[in-house]
Structure 1
C-alpha cells in the first residue's frame, strides 16, 4: 500500500468555528464571531479614547487661553496703576482724577470711569473685597476695543468733540491687528489731514507703546513687528513734519503746505519738471523770486529723508536730479 504525502493545498485544516471556501484565488479564512466582536469593541474603545483626548485638548486650550487672559489683565492693570500713581503726584493729574464723570455720550466717558476706578483702588487697595470688585470693573472696561486711545486722549486733551479720536482709534486697531497695508506716502497723507495732528500722533504713540509693553512674553513677539512698524512710521512722520516746518519758516510758508508738497512729490512714481513748475506757480504766497531758495531747501530736505520715504533708490535719485537741475 502506497502512502500519499500530505498536501496542504488539498487538505485544508478544519476547526470549530472556522469555515473556508475554495476558488481560483485560494482559500479565504473567515474570522470567528468572537474575534469580530472584540474588534468592534476595540474600535469603539479607540473612538471613545480619541473623543476623550479631543475633549481634554479643548479643555487645555481653554485653560491656556484663560491663563493668558489673566496674565494680560494683571499686566495691563499694573501698568495702568503706574499711570494713576504718576498722575497723583502732579496737580493737573490730581484734578483730573477728582473730576466728575462726563456725560455717558462723551467720547471720554469710559476713560474717565477708568480713572475714577484707579483713584478708588489707591484709596481701598488694602481692602481685599473692595480691591477685587474694582479690579473686576477695570478688567471689564479694558475688554472693550480702543480704550487705550481714549485714556491717553483724555490725558492729552482733557476734552474733545464727539468722535474726534475715531481716526486715531481706527489706525490703532489696524496696527495691533496687523492689518495696515498702506504704502508709507498714503499713510502719511492720511495722518497729515488730522486736526490737532501732533497731539493725536502722540496719543497714538503712547497707546501703541502701552499695548506693546503689556503683551505677555509668549505673544509679544507675534505682535511686536506690527506695532514697531507703526511706531517707526509715526516717528518718521514726526521727523518729516519738523523738517517741513523748518523749510516753511525759511521761505515764508506754513509747515503744512510744505508737508503736502513733499507728500505729493513722493506720491508720484516719476517727477516731471513741467509738473513741478505748475505746483510752484500755484504755491501761495511763494513769489517767483523765492522759488530758487525754496527748491534749494527742498533739495536738501529730500537728501536728508530716509530711504523708507521712497519707493526705491531710483525714485529718490530722480527727484533729487529734477530739483537740483530745475533751472538748468
Structure 2
C-alpha cells in the first residue's frame, strides 16, 4: 500500500436549510467506499464520525450566519483531526456533511503549511454573513477560510496558509450578484462550466492544478456533489442544471490523481453535500465513493 488514508466523517448539517446531509458520511460508506479505496491501493483507516448534535436540538440563532457557534465548534475539532492526520503521515479524506465543514478541513490542512485549494462546485461559496441572501454558512466556507468580511477576525475559520492566488474554482454555474463581483475582484482563478464546454474538463483541471500548486506545500481538493449535473447526482440540497457529467467528473478526479502521482501534491480531500433523503437508490453516494477512489489513484488499467 502506497498511502494510508484516514476516513473522517463530519456529519454536520448546520450550514444548510434542508435536513438530511448529516447522513452523507454513512451513505458514502454504505456505497462501498472501502472497496474503492482498496482498489486505489491505499490503506484506509476509518476513524469514525465527529460527534455533531442534531440541528433540531439547537437554536439557529437567527441572523445572517445560522448556527455559527455550532459550526465553529465542529470545525475546530475537524481542523484538529485533519492536522493530526497529516502530522501522523496519513492522508485525510473528509466525508461531509454540508460544505461548511470545509472551513475546518481547510484550517487543518493549512496548519503550518502553505496550501492551494481546488474547489469543484456549482457555487462560489464566497458569501459573507452580510452578503448572504439565506444566512446558510455552506455558502460561505471559502470566504471564511480567506478571512473575508466578518470572518476577518475569526481565528478558528481562517486558513492562514491559504492565499487567494492559490485558489481555483472549477465548474461554476450559479453565483449570487455579490459573489460574482467579489470573485472578479479577488485574486482567485475561476472556471465556469462554459470553460469546460469549450476546452474540455482535463484541460481546465490541468490549468487549475497549475494555479493551486504554484509555490504551495500541497493541495486541498473540495468536491461538492452538486458540481455534477442533477441527472447524475440527484441527492444534493442545491442542484443546478448543466453540471459535469459522470465521465467528466471521473476524468477530472483521475487528472488530479495523475498530477499527484507525478509531483506528490495532494494533501487532503473532502467530499460533501450528499443528502440521502433527496437521493435515488443511493446514486449520489455511489458516485461520491467512486470519485474519492479516482482522486486517490484508482485506475481502469
TM-score norm. by structure 2 comes to 0.29
TM-score norm. by structure 1 comes to 0.27
Q: Which has the larger radius of gyration?
A: 1
Q: Greater helix share, 1 or 2?
A: 1
